[in-house]
Amino acid sequence: MDQYTLNLLVVGASFALYIGIAIWARAGSTSEFYAAGRGVHPVTNGMATAADWMSAASFISMAGLIAFGGYTASSFLMGWTGGYVLLALLLAPYLRKFGKFTVPEFIGDRFYSQTARLVAVACLIIASVTYVIGQMTGAGVAFARFLEVSNTTGLLIGAGIVFAYAVLGGMKGITYTQVAQYVVLITAYTIPAVFISLQLTGVALPPIGLFSEYTATGEPLLARLDLVIQDLGFAAYTMQDTSFLPMLNMFLFTMSLMIGTAGLPHVIIRFFTVPRVSDARWSAGWALVFIALLYLTAPAVGAMARLNLVDTIFPNGATEQPIAYDERPDWIKNWEITGLLKFEDKNGDGLIQWYNDRNANFTATAEARGWQGSELTVNNDILVLANPEIAGLPGWVIALIAAGGLAAALSTAAGLLLAISSAVSHDLIKGAINPKISERGELLAARISMAAAISLATYLGLNPPGFAAQTVALAFGIAAASLFPVLMMGIFSSRINNHGAVAGMLTGLIFTVVYIFLHKGWFFIPGTNSFEDTIAGSLFGIQSTAIGAVGAILNFAVAYLVSKMTADTPQEIKDLVQSVRIPRGAGAAAADH
């Protein structure tokens, strides 16, 4: 059976499974649409949360970033996992105890303000729409390569599948579909990693194989990787490359990812689906177990993919001649079709020169070899998907990883689209426009909102604005700067009032969005080409991807100052905060002692 047919069968079977689950778990009420009837078991919810949280960025991009960034790219691991721990410990149980359906509903009730609720809706939609574009684009990339269709066709197929199970099932359908998608994505991620670890080190467990001996030379695998990439002018894999990400930016970027992850609403709403507060805590624990299976494997996948890539281009070692372009392996030909891997013969010798041509210290060495610039451009996002092909694994493994990449993209897209739909139908339509709407009418509005959100995400995936194409860090930055602080203050500080909450959210949102747009040069400034021309491109050297942490600090500060200068929080709200944070009867128990 040829590879295309095998891919089609495996991916088609996974899609049939998702749609079948959606039909079985069709939502019949708003409670089922928004929160799956609050009847999801903690283990099931933990698995669904893991699939919701591990997006195309985790499955497709993260190992590629680690492969090319090495130790420096560990900030992604620390930020995303640290953010989940923050969410699990500081937000999820308390938000579940509050008993609402959506994040804006909590903010509106806690800060006794319809304005606060509507500002939260705006923050949620901006962050979620930006993030979902990346998921739809990732689905398009996977379709384009493995099913040999255009990126546009791939996006439309992906949107159709999400439409089928998200509009029909709501949170109920999405939950059980995400369980299936987790099984698909974790199987697809770990099986190739096990094969490749066995090939390179003889060790079946990739996290252990990463620190084992490279069987071809008998030296530690990481030491071998450091050696071959330094021979090509790249920074050592196991050392921090401060030219790539200076220390201040690395700290702020990690913090931005951490608090941004904790503030992303599509993960938060998963904890509204369980019966009890204790179940929310158990869900968080199980999700961490399921997430760890991929996150412990990702560093090994990245390192081994980078080593395999170098060995493919330089089969006799990085100090010897690279392979001829005409003799390139099939996997290079396959990925060239997608445009995500490109070759340009700059010196006309027909060989593939791939090295760090931005390293001034390596220029003399490159010139001595007759190289006139790196000739191979490899998109980070292809490494995980191409890894089985690079390693020469069986066709069914390649088909499996295609299904896994699509499962990761579609599971997170569905969660984000549900968060958007819930905000529109429950917080905007019922909360502000038509409070007397019937349950049937609200369910219809929720489904229409979901369909509209899918249509918007598909359109933006096909025609991505510049900021979305360049970085999904904007989504994390917005969530970090606008939603995370107000959730934390809403739970742990009864002094922050409605005026402070609104002022803080608007400050964090506006500051972060404006900074990123200016830093990237997306605003026109008369007399200049971009923001870089006026103030060297950044504030104190802080990159746009790290500015969310600064926006969060401003949010906290403004909310506190405005609250101090305005009327105190009403007593009933203080009592509400106290009841959410402290278990019933705890005060009496303490008094007995």
Please tell me the predicted confidence (pLDDT) of residue 570.
Answer: 94
Asked if residue 72 belongs to a domain, the reply is: yes
- Tokens 């219809």 belong to residue: 444
Whichever domain contains 452, its CATH number is 1.20.1730.10
Which tokens sit at 163?
């439409």
Indicate the number of domains in the chain.
2
Structural domain range at position 352: 307-380
Q: Residue 592's pLDDT is what? A: 38
- Cα 449 to chain centroid distance, Å, stands at 23
pLDDT at 387: 85
Cβ(233)–Cβ(366) under 8 Å? yes
Q: Are residues 299 and 376 in the same domain?
A: no
Q: What is the DSSP string of 46-113?
A: HHHHHHHHS-HIIIIIHHHHHHHHGGGGHHHHHHHHHHHHHIIIIIHHHHHHHT-SSHHHHHHHHTT-
Whether pLDDT at 585 is above 50: no
pLDDT per position as a tens digit, 344-363: 999 999 999 999 988 888 98
Euclidean distance between CA atoms 353 and 152, whole angstroms: 32
For residues 351 and 406, state if they share a domain: no
Structure-block tokens of residue 120: 């939260």
**Count of Cβ atoms closer than 10 Å to residue 191 Cβ:** 17
The answer to the question of residue 155 being in a domain is yes
Segment 472-505, tens digit of pLDDT: 667 888 899 999 999 999 999 999 999 999 999 9
Structure tokens at 283: 């869900």
Last residue in a domain, options 326, 358, 380: 380
End-to-end CA distance of the chain: 73
> In this predicted structure, what is the pLDDT of residue 593?
36
**Tens-digit pLDDT profile for residues 285-325:** 899 899 999 999 999 999 999 999 999 999 988 888 899 99
Strand pairing class (341-343; 376-378): antiparallel
Residue 592 placed within a domain = no
pLDDT tens digits, one per residue of 82-98: 888 888 888 888 888 88
Summarize the confidence of residues 177-185 as an average pLDDT: 91
DSSP 3-state percent helix, strand, coil across the chain (nearest 5):
75, 0, 25
Instruction: State whether residue 235 is helix, strand or coil.
Output: coil
The three-state secondary structure class of 378 is strand
In this prediction, residue 286 carries a pLDDT of: 92
Q: Which H helix or E strand runs over 203?
A: none
Q: Which of 223-237, 301-315, 360-374, 398-412 has the lowest mean pLDDT?
A: 398-412
User: Do 371 and 396 share a structural domain?
Assistant: no
Residue 85: the pLDDT is: 85
Region 395-412 average pLDDT = 85
Mark which of 357, 380, 403 sits at the end of a domain. Answer: 380
Same domain assignment for residues 52 and 114: yes
* Residue 483 near residue 86, CB atoms below 8 Å: no
The verdict on 225 and 93 lying in the same domain is yes
Long-range contacts, stretch 225-231, CB < 8 angstroms, 24+ apart? 225/303, 225/306, 225/307, 225/310, 227/318, 228/307, 228/310, 228/311, 228/314, 228/317, 228/318, 229/306, 229/310, 229/318, 231/317, 231/318, 231/319
Highest mean pLDDT among 17-26, 69-78, 293-302: 293-302
Confidence of residue 523 (pLDDT cuts 50, 70, 90): very low
Helix (H, G, I), strand (E, B) or coil at 452: helix
For residue 521, the model assigns a pLDDT of 57
- Range of weakest confidence among 144-153, 186-195, 244-253, 466-475: 466-475
